[in-house]
C-alpha cells in the first residue's frame, strides 16, 4: 500500500485521508473477535492444570502403589475399559489440538547493485526524458518526492533507468531473478542448508505473475525436489508477506519435520506508469526495488539456531465492503496505459482495517491490566452510556519493537499518532522508507534487519509486524526473539552503513 493521491493543496489538514481516531470508534464486535480467537486457540490453558495435577499425583506413586493398582485393574473389567478409553481419548485430543512451534531460522534482504541507485534528481530527469508526462504532472511528482520521506539511495531496475526506458517481459524476469536469487543465495549461505532440504516454497509478488510462475523459476534455478509443496501468491498487495507467513505456519502444522522458504518481493519493470493520471503517478514516486527470503522450520532441532518463534498471526480482510475493495485498483487510464489507482478513501479504509486487526490482536498480547481498563471503559460507554472515551491500550507494554509497513510518510505519521508510539519505535520504518523506499511486502524485513543491525533485539523481545494491502487487508505477525542478536555477526543490507543512521528526514526535502 502507498500514500493516497494528493490533490492541490498536496496535504490537507483534515480529511477522509487521515486515519480515524480510534478512541472515538472502537466497536464491541471487534473485541469479541479477539476474545473468540483467544478462546478457540486456548485449549492448552484448560488442559495444562489437569496435566500438572496428573503429573504431580503420578510423581508420588511408588512401585508398590503401581503394582497394587495393576492388581486391582486385573479383576475389574469396567475400570480397565474406562481407563483405556480415557487414555486413548487424551492422547487423541493431544495429537489433534497440539500446535507445532514455528521458528524463523533466518532471513535475508536483497541489496541491489550500486548502478541501480536512483536519486530524486535522477528520477525527475528520467521522468522528463520519457516525454510522456505533462509539465504539471512533472511538478506534481516533484512535490510527492519532496514530501515522500525517501532519500537519494533507493533503487530502480535497469529497464526503468535506461534512456529511453525499455520495459518488457524479458527485463521483468531479469529483475525478478536478481531479487529472488540474490536474497535466496544469501539466506542459503547464512543457514548452510541444502536447497533439496526445503519442503515448502511460497513466493508472493502482487503485480508480476508470469508463466511459468515465479515459484517455478525458483524450483528450476535451485533444482528443488520434485515433491515440494509450492505456492505463488499474486494480487495481494503490500501485506502479502504476512499472508505467506500465515500460510507457511498452517502448512508446517500438517507437515512435520519440514523447512519452509518464503520469498516476498514486488516487480517494478512492467508496472511503471507512463500516463498522466495523478492517482496512478504516486506509485512511481514511492515504489522501489527490493525483496526478502525467509526460512521457517518446525523441526525441534532448529530451535537452538533460530532467531525467532512465531507467536501469533492475525489477518483482517475488508473485501466484502465495495469501498474497501476498490480503494487500490490496477486498471487502465483513459489512454489505455495501465497503472495502480489509489482512492481518496484509502486512509480511512486503512484505518478501519487497522482498528479491526489490533482490536482482535489485543486480547492475545496485551497484559491483563490493559485489557481490564480497555474492557471496563468500553462497557461503560456501550452499556451504561457513560460519556467517556474508550481506553486505548498501550501496545508498548506488549511489544518491544514495531515493524510497520513503510508504505509512505503519511501512513507512518498517522500510525505513530494513533498508536502513541515514540520516534524510537518508528525509526526502523522511517529509515527503511528513507534508505530503500517502499519495497512493498518485503519492507517489514528491511525494518527487522535495521533493528538487528542496531543491536536492539534481545532474547525474549517481542516484535510486531503489521502491513496493509489491496483488497483491502490488514495483517499482523508477532515474533519472540529466541536469542540476543549480535550485530557484528549479522550480514544485512544495513551493516556497512548502519552507523550513519538514524538521519534527520525533513518534512519537505527540496532538490
**Number of independent structural domains in the chain:** 1
Structural domain includes residue 227:
yes
Say how far apart CA 390 and CA 281 lie, in whole Å. Answer: 39
Pairing of strands 308-317, 328-332: unpaired
Q: Is the pLDDT of residue 473 over 50?
A: yes
- pLDDT tens for each residue of 78-97: 766 777 787 787 777 666 66
Place of cell 519532496: 146
Q: What is the pTM of this model?
A: 0.84
Q: Are 290 and 436 in contact (CB under 8 A)?
A: yes
Question: Is it the case that residue 435 has pLDDT exceeding 90?
Answer: yes
The CATH number for 263's domain is 3.40.47.10
Domain range for 214 is 103-365+390-500
* 68 inside domain: no
> In which band, very low, low, confident or very high, does the pLDDT at 102 lie, cut at 50, 70 and 90?
very high
As annotated, the active-site residues are 238, 317, 401, 405, 438
CB atoms within 10 A of CB 85: 10
> In this structure, is residue 36 part of a structural domain?
no
> Does residue 467 form part of some domain?
yes
pLDDT of residue 381: 72
Q: Encode pLDDT of 247-290 as tens digits.
A: 999 999 999 999 999 999 999 999 999 999 999 999 999 999 99
* The predicted structure's pLDDT at residue 16: 47
In a domain, 79, yes or no: no
Q: Is residue 278 part of a domain?
A: yes
Residue 2 scores a pLDDT above 50: no
Q: Determine, yes or no, domain membership for 30.
A: no
- Give the pLDDT of residue 383: 74
Residues 6+ apart with CB under 8 A from 135: none
What span, in angstroms and rounded, lies between the C-alpha atoms of 10 and 110?
33
H/E element, 202: strand 200-204
Q: Is residue 507 part of a domain?
A: no
Amino acid at each position: 500500500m502507498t500514500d493516497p493521491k494528493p490533490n492541490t493543496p498536496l496535504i490537507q489538514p483534515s480529511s477522509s485521508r487521515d486515519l480515524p481516531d480510534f478512541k472515538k470508534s472502537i466497536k464491541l464486535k471487534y473485541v469479541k473477535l479477539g476474545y473468540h480467537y483467544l478462546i478457540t486457540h486456548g485449549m492448552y490453558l484448560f488442559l495444562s492444570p489437569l496435566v500438572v495435577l496428573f503429573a504431580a499425583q503420578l510423581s508420588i506413586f511408588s512401585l508398590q502403589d503401581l503394582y497394587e493398582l495393576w492388581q486391582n485393574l486385573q479383576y475389574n473389567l469396567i475400570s480397565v475399559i474406562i481407563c483405556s478409553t480415557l487414555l486413548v481419548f487424551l492422547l487423541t485430543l493431544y495429537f489433534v489440538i497440539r500446535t507445532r512451534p514455528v521458528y524463523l531460522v533466518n532471513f535475508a534482504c536483497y541489496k541491489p547493485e550500486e548502478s541501480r541507485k536512483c536519486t530524486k534528481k535522477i528520477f525527475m530527469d528520467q521522468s522528463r526524458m520519457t516525454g510522456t508526462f505533462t509539465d504539471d504532472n512533472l511538478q506534481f511528482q516533484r512535490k510527492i518526492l519532496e514530501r515522500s520521506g525517501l532519500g537519494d539511495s533507493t533503487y530502480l531496475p535497469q529497464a526503468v533507468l535506461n534512456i529511453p526506458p525499455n520495459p518488457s517481459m524479458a527485463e521483468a524476469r531479469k529483475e525478478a531473478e536478481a531479487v529472488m536469487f540474490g536474497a535466496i543465495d544469501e539466506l542459503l549461505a547464512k543457514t548452510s542448508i541444502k536447497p533439496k532440504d526445503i519442503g515448502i516454497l511460497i513466493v508472493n509478488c502482487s503485480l508480476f505473475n508470469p508463466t511459468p510462475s515465479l515459484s517455478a523459476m525458483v524450483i528450476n534455478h535451485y533444482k528443488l525436489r520434485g515433491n515440494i509443496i509450492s505456492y505463488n501468491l499474486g494480487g495481494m498487495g503490500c501485506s502479502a508477506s504476512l499472508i505467506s507467513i500465515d500460510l507457511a505456519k498452517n502448512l508446517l502444522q500438517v507437515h512435520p519435520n519440514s523447512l519452509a522458504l518464503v520469498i516476498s518481493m514486488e516487480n517494478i519493470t512492467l508496472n511503471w506508469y507512463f500516463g498522466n493520471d495523478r492517482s496512478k503517478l504516486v506509485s512511481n514516486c514511492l515504489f522501489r526495488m527490493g525483496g526478502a527470503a525467509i526460512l521457517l522450520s518446525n523441526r525441534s532441532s532448529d530451535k537452538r539456531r533460530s532467531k525467532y518463534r512465531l507467536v501469533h498471526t492475525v489477518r483482517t480482510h475488508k473485501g466484502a465492503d465495495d469501498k474497501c475493495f476498490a480503494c487500490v485498483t490496477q486498471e487502465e487510464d483513459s489512454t489505455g496505459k495501465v497503472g495502480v489507482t489509489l482512492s481518496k478513501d484509502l486512509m480511512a479504509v486503512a484505518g478501519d482495517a487497522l482498528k479491526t486487526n489490533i482490536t482482535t490482536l489485543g486480547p492475545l498480547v496485551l497484559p491483563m491490566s490493559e485489557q481490564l481498563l480497555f474492557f471496563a471503559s468500553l462497557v461503560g460507554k456501550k452499556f451504561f452510556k457513560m460519556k467517556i472515551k474508550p481506553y486505548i491500550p498501550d501496545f508498548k507494554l506488549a511489544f518491544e519493537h514495531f515493524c510497520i509497513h513503510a508504505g509512505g510518510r503519511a501512513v507512518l505519521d498517522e500510525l505513530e499518532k494513533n498508536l502513541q508510539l515514540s520516534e524510537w519505535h518508528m525509526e526502523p520504518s522511517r529509515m527503511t522508507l528513507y534508505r530503500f523506499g517502499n519495497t512493498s511486502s518485503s519492507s517489514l524485513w528491511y525494518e527487522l534487519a535495521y533493528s538487528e543491525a542496531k543491536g536492539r533485539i534481545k532474547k525474549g523481545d517481542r516484535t510486531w509486524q503489521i502491513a496493509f494491502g489491496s483488497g483491502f487487508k490488514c495483517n499482523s505477525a508477532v515474533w519472540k526473539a529466541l536469542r540476543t542478536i549480535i550485530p557484528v555477526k549479522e550480514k544485512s543490507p544495513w551493516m556497512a552503513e548502519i552507523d550513519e543512521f538514524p538521519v534527520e528526514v525533513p518534512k519537505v526535502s527540496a532538490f
